[in-house]
Amino acid sequence: MKSTVIKEPSMVQQKEMIADHFQQLAEAAEHGRKVVYTFVPGNLTELMLGFDTLPVHPEINALQSGMRKLSGSYIAAAERVGHSEDVCTYVKCDIGMLLDGNVGPTGKKLPDPDLLLLSYTGCFTFMKWFELLRERYDCPVAMLHVPYQADGEATEEMIAYVARQLETEVIPKLEQVTGVAYDRDRVREHMLRSRVAEDDLVAVLEAAKHRPSPIDAYFGGVYYIGPMFTAFRGTEAAQAYYRQLRSEVDARVAAGQGPITPEGLLDEERFRIVVEGPPNWTHFREFWKMFYDEGAVVVASTYTKVGGVYDRGFRHDPDRPLESLAEYCLGCYTNLNLPSRVDMMADYVRDYAADGFLINSIKSCNSFSAGQLVMLRHIEDATGIPGGFIETDLVDPRYFSSSNVKNRLESYFQMLAQRSSGQEVESA
Amino acid sequence: MGVEAIIGRCQGLLEDLDLACVSEWKAAGEGRKAIGFLPVYVPRELIHAAGALPVGILGAGEELEIVRGDACFQSYICHIPRSTVELGLRGKLDALDGALFPSTCDVIRNLSGIWQLMFPEKEAIYFDVPQNLDPQVGGVFYRGLLAEIVTRLQRVVGRDVGADDLRAAISAYNASRRLVRELYDLRAAEPWRVPTSEAYLLLRAGMRLPVEEHNELLANYLTAVRDEDRALRDNARIVITGTFCEQPSLDLIRTLEHAGCYVVDDDLMLVTRWYGPDIRTDGDPLDAIAEAWMSADDETPCRYVADGTRKGQQLVDSVRRCGAEGVIFAAPSFCDPALLDRPMLQAVLEEEGIAYTSFKYSENTAQLQPIREQAGTFADTIKLWSDA
Ligand code: SF4
Ligand code: SF4
């Protein structure tokens, strides 16, 4: 592995976009910009941009706090004011950050919300989270109920229900808060840009079908999805970012290169892995290193689909803006039933010619984790490949046991190695 | 039937983990079906109208050792999915032809998928009650959902369900809700007469018996218990909250009583007493069921409270209405809905000057002594203050 840290133009670009966004948030009050807090899954970015609002995503703040090693003290602060040890640590991390002055990742205080846009796609805890925030902020809440795809499809009735809520609940509240009238054409323009970027993102994710894979679709993937899942989808900046990223990945494919890790280019791809479940953020680098030290590359992951399943064909459709937003919300990964999730994982294992698959079960996230061990067995049956299982948390450092995770991963990779040498012997 | 015999029968039903009573009911008639449901709310009227028996799936209590269910779940999760899977894998839910999974939380939501994967021969119906309460929006969606569920139930039972079937079911459950309200009112007025352990067993019996038979049982109890000579104790009157899904064991309920608490209101078995007034029996029955849901102001952690100023108000109202002196927050371990709601509800109680204490449990909590001590101290403190 080469030891020089490679900073590609897309990385610099994304960093600048984020810095600019936080700067705008810091100056929101000065410029009369309205701030909307909302969640990543089912985010209505194109619609929000149509009202010139600035989004804040509490989960992103929580994961950033995890990466900056602040989440432990934030969670402790939330527990001191009465939050249970048992509940979702994202919520506690956010509450703790709020109690500590709500200082964002760039060191600047985040503005209070003018609107809490509660779309609880794929998770009931979102509803509790904003009920808790509502107690602390004096602002309206727009609640968007997104039905669950319990039978593996988004029905016409579900789409109509969500679209009606956009019309009767979300848009009127955005109008009321911003004083701006809903402009369908403006939203359509943003959706047109989203489509282009979505095509490029899919090309990037699917580049992992190459051998060696030019990307890591989990650890690297969380950076790739950043702009698409947050404040930028539908902007020119996001369009440019994904165009650039795609060209970089294409160049790596042409050069037969592997993914870039924090320690440089990975030279040897030993294992191709599919991962289910979110990463751990408090030990993100260390966790990633446990993979690349073994030559394990994640070729597909479900976490990178929590904010949209573009690789399964979804695109924002400017000709039916509200219905299309409804379909988007309905289709986010954790809003899919378990059999659909099993199918997606099994497809990934096959389509990306993976050697193995791993489940990272998150202690405090029932939305993802409840039932993953059952999924594991069904994915094994469908693919004939044994799966691995580890338990960590998103942002609570108390639940990341490095030695435990490392041991489990090492044994899993060892088993895969033995399996493949066995197969080689058989086929020889 | 006297109180003792009624309660003995209910206890037998609670302990019937194999659902022998359901199998017997099915065997007594040609082609009978039984449909399970999980907490917190489903309109049992639909199942009854289809001629099927609605059966509560409420975990396995403290009775069953969980072996295979544990292998299906990660460490940090409440107990009810483990015991439900255990019951299923051990064949103890074989009497059920399908189940309804209400949109209570992510765990029950995902359990619907586990059921689909593990028991593909049984119907799995997800019941996505709307959180948007606008009749033109959530109401329209909900009406469609009810019609869809009726269609699926028709497939299971192999016959059509007509409007009159639905109206008859609504009437039967209206009667049930009236009787349950009477039971709760009597307990609030004279808690020494209606111990919560008995009230609870009566409600649990309703998770197994056909509604008409259960109504008779409730009516008989209400008559019989008024003739009982039961001693009034100097207990503290408390409301329990947080027990809406995974059930505390009967022993835990008894422990609270022995610790000096009269439970005058609770959120156990909410499915039996949703909404205030009766559901109307005129007009379109599915409209009527949908309207009842949309207009009910029942608050649980699983239901979005649109008006933030109302959050917790129902708990305060319950304390006032029932003359309670304090609140016990009893939440299942790892239960996000109950535990995330708790600080909000506690803040409201603090504003109102209402005393509370909190603990966690699971359906098979064996160590009840710490709970007994905590509840005892709480009851003593309340009595001390109210006597001062
Ligand atoms: S439970 Fe999971 S999906 Fe829900 S808010 Fe917490 S981390 Fe996010
Ligand atoms: S006990 Fe709580 S977390 Fe568990 S299934 Fe019930 S509502 Fe969900």
Q: What is the per-residue pLDDT across A413-427, written as a single tens digit (0 to 9) for each?
A: 999 999 988 776 666
Find the mean pLDDT for residues A177-185.
Answer: 98
What pLDDT, on the 0 to 100 scale, is given for residue A6? 67
Report the half-sphere exposure of A210 (CA within 13 A, side-chain side).
21
Q: Are strands A115-119 and A35-38 parallel, antiparallel or unpaired?
A: parallel
Pick the range with the lowest mean pLDDT from A1-5, A121-125, B298-302.
A1-5
Task: Let me know: does B67 contact B127? Beta carbons within 8 Å.
Answer: no
User: Both tokens of residue B20?
Assistant: 């022998």
* A364: closest CA of chain B, how far (Å): 7
* Span from the CA of A75 to the centroid of ligand 1 (angstroms): 15
Q: Which of the four CATH numbers 3.10.400.10, 3.30.450.20, 3.40.50.11890, 3.40.710.10 does domain A32-177 have?
A: 3.40.50.11890
pLDDT tens by residue, A133-167: 999 998 999 999 999 999 999 999 999 999 999 99
Nearest bound ligand to the CA of residue B79: 2
Residue of B nearest to A166 (CA): B137
What pLDDT, on the 0 to 100 scale, is given for residue A426? 66
What pLDDT, on the 0 to 100 scale, is given for residue B158? 97
Task: Select from A86, A340, A368, A392 the residue whose CB has the most chain B CBs within 10 Å, as the one to mutate to test that interface.
Answer: A86
Of A88, A164, A338, the CB nearest to B110: A338
Q: What percentage of chain A carries pLDDT values higher than 90?
A: 94
What pLDDT, on the 0 to 100 scale, is given for residue B49? 98
What pLDDT, on the 0 to 100 scale, is given for residue B1? 82
Output the average pLDDT for chain A: 96
User: Both tokens of residue B112?
Assistant: 């619907």
Q: Does A140 touch chain B (CB under 8 A)?
A: no
What pLDDT, on the 0 to 100 scale, is given for residue B190? 97
Domain boundaries, chain A: 32-177
Q: What global pTM score does this model have?
A: 0.97
CA A57-A16-A275 angle, to 5 degrees, is 55
* A99: closest CA of chain B, how far (Å): 15
Q: Are strands A264-265 and A260-261 parallel, antiparallel or unpaired?
A: antiparallel
* Span from the CA of A314 to the centroid of ligand 1 (angstroms): 23
pLDDT for A4 beyond 60: no
What pLDDT, on the 0 to 100 scale, is given for residue B384? 86
- Ligand 1 pocket residue status of A126, Cβ below 6 Å: yes
Find the mean pLDDT for residues A96-114.
Answer: 92
Q: Residues in chain B with pLDDT < 70?
A: 387-388
Pick the range with the lowest mean pLDDT from A4-18, A249-263, A388-402.
A4-18
pLDDT tens by residue, A267-326: 999 999 999 999 999 999 999 999 999 999 999 999 999 999 999 999 999 999 999 999
Going from the C-alpha of A250 to that of each of A208, A237, A256, B48, the distances in angstroms are: 11, 20, 10, 61
User: Both tokens of residue A210?
Assistant: 């190459």
* A408: closest CA of chain B, how far (Å): 16
Give the residue, by CA position, lying nearest to ligand 1 atom 2: A365
Locate the ligand 2 atom nearest the alpha carbon of residue B301 and give its number.
7
Find the mean pLDDT for residues A56-62.
Answer: 95
Sequence-ordered list of residues with C-beta below 8 angstroms from that of B277, at least 6 positions apart, any chain: none
Of A83, A375, A378, the CB nearest to B343: A83
* Span from the CA of B335 to the centroid of ligand 2 (angstroms): 5
What pLDDT, on the 0 to 100 scale, is given for residue A323? 98
Task: Let me know: does B44 contact B173? Beta carbons within 8 Å.
Answer: yes
Sequence-ordered list of residues with C-beta below 8 angstroms from that of B290, at least 6 positions apart, any chain: B139, B142, B143, B146
What pLDDT, on the 0 to 100 scale, is given for residue A404? 97
What pLDDT, on the 0 to 100 scale, is given for residue B71? 87
Do residue B304 and residue A88 have CB atoms under 8 angstroms apart? Answer: no
* A92: closest CA of chain B, how far (Å): 10
pLDDT for A196 beyond 90: yes
Do residue B344 and residue A150 have CB atoms under 8 angstroms apart? Answer: no
Q: Does A374 touch chain B (CB under 8 A)?
A: yes
Task: Select from B78, B83, B111, B137 the residue whose CB has the most chain A CBs within 10 Å, as the one to mutate to test that interface.
Answer: B137
